Amino acid sequence: QNKVCVVTGGANGIGLCLVNEFAKKGSKVAFIDIDKKAGEKALVELKATGAEGLFFCGDIAEKSTLEEFASKVIEAYGGIDYLINNACISRKGIITGCQYDDFNYVLKVGVTAPYMLAKLFLDYFNKGGAIVNISSTRATMSQVDTESYTAAKGGISALTHALAISLAGKIRVNSVSPGWIDVSANYDKDYTAKHSDADKKQHPVNRVGEPLDIAKTVMFLCHEDNGFISGENITVDGGMTKQMIYSGDYGWEYKL
Ligand code: NAD
């Protein structure tokens, strides 16, 4: 309560859920997003609940945008408690011809921006501050043609333990690795209707994830009660990556 929380990519998906959940707990939430329309809508809806927040429209791949955003947040709130590096994108990979600039752009959004924001806010963290980076189960496993995104996720996972050590005693730094999260759950109560039994069953918990699954874990990591956790990653994937698959066993079939 009475905390200041910064979220990147807060206009849609998991980021939007983070913005709303932190606001519900009484935090002032400053969020940045490249999607102006969705960001403005999210801010209006947040303020309608009586919560306090700030939306900054911009591309986090740009150094000047990050600097301007950080100044605005510090000017508005004086300091921050939590930084949630959530925004990321994919520009695919080597099969479909992800180019030099595409690859670098994804790294800027997914790795450089989280680093720079940590640096820009470094002297403005209140006591008990925490950074949570949103990585992915793809940091440690891959599908075909995903090099840009997968490399960014490997990068943010490694950045997490590096920052946890550099900022030891001042800011705890952890990450969350989501599996399959259906972001339509933010606005569609019946979102599970479009999941097949196979979609559900490939998760040991028998369902696809929703943004709230991630938001709850991020808030757990931020909470001072969990102040002994730093440099850690929590996978939130319904057990999907713990499922061992052999074609022909237990109904699994590899279709050639
Ligand atoms: P999303 O696409 O629904 O939302 C991402 C938000 O980030 C959007 O509002 C987008 O406008 C914003 N954004 C993208 N590029 C930006 C930029 N350059 N500058 C500013 N804002 C930018 O994505 P999501 O599914 O909610 O994913 C959120 C995070 O969770 C990402 O890091 C993603 O890699 C991770 N993740 C998601 C899933 C999933 O299944 N949804 C799984 C694993 C990891």
Domain boundaries, the chain: 4-242
Can you give the pLDDT at residue 207?
97
What is the residue-averaged pLDDT of the chain?
Answer: 97
Confidence grade of residue 1 (pLDDT, cut at 50, 70, 90): low
Q: Which residues pair with 234 in a beta bridge?
A: 176
Can you give the pLDDT at residue 133?
99
CB of 178 within 6 A of ligand 1: the answer is yes
- What does residue 173 show for φ and ψ, rounded to 5 degrees? -130, 125
Confidence grade of residue 5 (pLDDT, cut at 50, 70, 90): very high
CA 9 – ligand 1 centroid, Å: 6
Strand ranges for the chain from DSSP E: 4-8, 28-33, 53-57, 80-85, 125-134, 172-178, 233-236
Q: Is 77 designated active site?
A: no
Could you give the count of Cα atoms lying within 13 Å of 237 in the half-sphere of its Cβ?
21
pLDDT in tens, 157-207: 999 999 999 999 999 999 999 999 999 999 999 999 999 999 999 999 999
CATH class of the region 4-242: alpha beta
- What does residue 97 show for φ and ψ, rounded to 5 degrees? 90, 35
Average pLDDT over residues 127-131: 98
CB of 87 within 6 A of ligand 1: the answer is yes
CA 249 – ligand 1 centroid, Å: 35
Which amino acid residue places its CA nearest to atom 1 of ligand 1? 13
Answer whether residue 103 shows pLDDT above 80.
Answer: yes
Answer whether residue 72 shows pLDDT above 70.
Answer: yes
| Residue of 149, 191, 246, 250 marked active site | 149
CB of 12 within 6 A of ligand 1: the answer is yes
pLDDT in tens, 12-55: 999 999 999 999 999 999 999 999 999 999 999 999 999 999 99
At position 45, the amino acid (one-letter code) is E
Can you give the pLDDT at residue 134?
99
